[in-house]
Structure 1
Amino acid sequence: MSHKKLIVFLILINYFQIKVFAYIDFNGVPHNVDTNQIYEQNVTAKRGYKVTWLNFTDLKSINNDNNTNASVSDTTYGGQLLSEKSANISGLHLVVAMPPQLRYRQQQRLPTRVRIEMVNNSAYIIIKEPNGIHRGFYSAYKVYDNTTHQLVTERRDFFINIHGLNESNQHCNEDADCFSNFCLNNQCLCSDDKPVLDDHKCIAAQPIVSKCLHSSQCQFIAGPNAECSYKRKCRCANNGRTIHIPKYGLYCITPKGYNDSCIFSEECLMIGSNRYCNEMFRCQCRHNYYHQTGTGCVRALAVVSSGPTTMSTIINVWCFLVIIFLATFATNFNL
């Protein structure tokens, strides 16, 4: 880009306030969820599952003249689904926030067996060969975006129960085929009432603050950051705290610094503010904020709007004068 084009671009940014496209935080745990509005689904293991979202083009601003194309996208990449947009759903796509165990797989770029398909006026959430890793709380967002902003037009929450997982001594190909999540030599170990295998014994799983003997009992429900304390009660380890996942219960998270890996935005907010877990599962500053070493995420000066209008005008005038100076300098020296 030439100097003159760059100067024109800077003028446009300053005076027409062109916005840099920013993602909405889809990796935070939804608050104020009405449990009566959660779609609870009972899914049979290994038989496939499909959720249909009809009337996917209900925005008046969306042009729906062409209804012949379709697009398919895999949610394996990123917590915020970067779906291809079909010609008939211009600017609309579906984002699915998944349970913790699937977020870990997304973070590691492993297949989730979950994909999004859009055909004509409908969107589908398809789970191929569901098993234990697919049990949990999901939030699906209908998102409209253009070059300057995103808009969530609708959200639906649902909880998937997986039935038909194998019990003790039944055949399995992987851990998630078994209710206990333990597959050894193609046979499931333990059963649904005592799903935790510890020291060659099957014991019951326990939620946070319940009595325990081994940390594995707590981790089965509250995740890898849970432990059994010296008081023999389940708690969060490593300076962690709990978050409440609707229909599931308490789950342990630990503090994450700037640019650390994460699966929930709440992890990024434990030791800082104005941060979120982005689509690449990294703690980053919110839109219009930047990271300052030793301080954290601070609001960019160019977007501060809390001061008097006269101060904003003075800043704009100075920016304009600097741009004019640079333009004159570039012209005189043929840069």
Structure 2
Amino acid sequence: MSSPNALGVAHPATVASRPGHVSLAGVSKAYAGRTVLDDLSLDLVQGEMVALLGPSGCGKTTTLRILAGLERPDAGRVTIAGSDETTAPARSRNIGVVFQHYSLFPHLSARENVAYGLRIRRVDRGGRTQRADELLELVGLAEHGGKFPHQLSGGQQQRVALARALAIQPQLLLLDEPLSALDATVRARLREEIRRIQRQEGITTLMVTHDQEEALTMADRVGVMLDGRIEQLATPETLYNEPETPFVSQFVGVVNRIEGTVAGGRITVFGAGLRVANREPVASARAVALIRPEDISVQSARVGGAAGVVVEHILRGPLSSLLVRHGADHLRVDLATPMAGSYPVGTPVSLGVTRTRTIVETPVETPAES
């Protein structure tokens, strides 16, 4: 078993071995006859952060609202810390929620906003002021307690919202697209700050987001949702490197689509046989391999034997992308920027694959004309 990290919180391997703390079991929900959640089950263990990632309409926000008690499931069960909360109203659940648009009270100071939940719970003035000041210091706003929301930046307001959610010492913290309203620089910084605080406080947390980078960099586990179900739930590393379905492979990260021949559970791409890693068996003899840009290798080739030609360079910081024309297709190849400079536009190249497995997508069968 893994030992706790520098913040005193166990690594994911340790977290995964703990008993379930929050559970959704067989939860379904429909609106106007349209199924939004379809027999969804999810367990969160004490102290971990799970992110639900997916396109609009996949059911991730409905999942969060059902946990918060803002929606009631049509079927299934919600359990928090061993208590059945399926029909319990939101006000009786010990849950903190941070919304996308802060939702601070404009007429209250930062300190008063943080202490609001404690005031509702009839904590005495001294106790709630002390707790609010502790949390403002935790989120780096100790000197801003007397300011009103309009006097704070967007990032500072979101920190106040986080402190307010933590003030009641919730059993569960819910983050609803918490950073999407912020600019990129603030978002990256606050992402790290929220993760640090979540680990330090050891709070079980569910975050919903459409931002892949946000999910992969913050969560212990990520669930990719589609049509009201979780397609795959895994650590960020496993999700990115070992997707189980074509949807997950294409939704998390970038892929090239390369046609190949399937035989004996392998697909041939650039002369190499890759193991087909789809969760469901693939019966088609022709399929499209989904290969990430960093998993394609290039080397200079003579014009006569070239598999492709470099047609564009795209600088992405420490990495650069080569756009390579391969037959009728254009493939993206990601290399370290200094290495990419060795292949100027017009260079003929040979292509290879550095992975031994891949997810494939089979062509959609079209009905024969009568």
TM over 0.5, shorter chain: no
Q: TM-score range by the shorter chain?
A: under 0.3
TM-score, with structure 2 as normaliser: 0.25
TM-score, with structure 1 as normaliser: 0.27
Question: Could you say which structure has the higher strand fraction?
Answer: 2
Question: Could you say which structure has the higher helix fraction?
Answer: 2
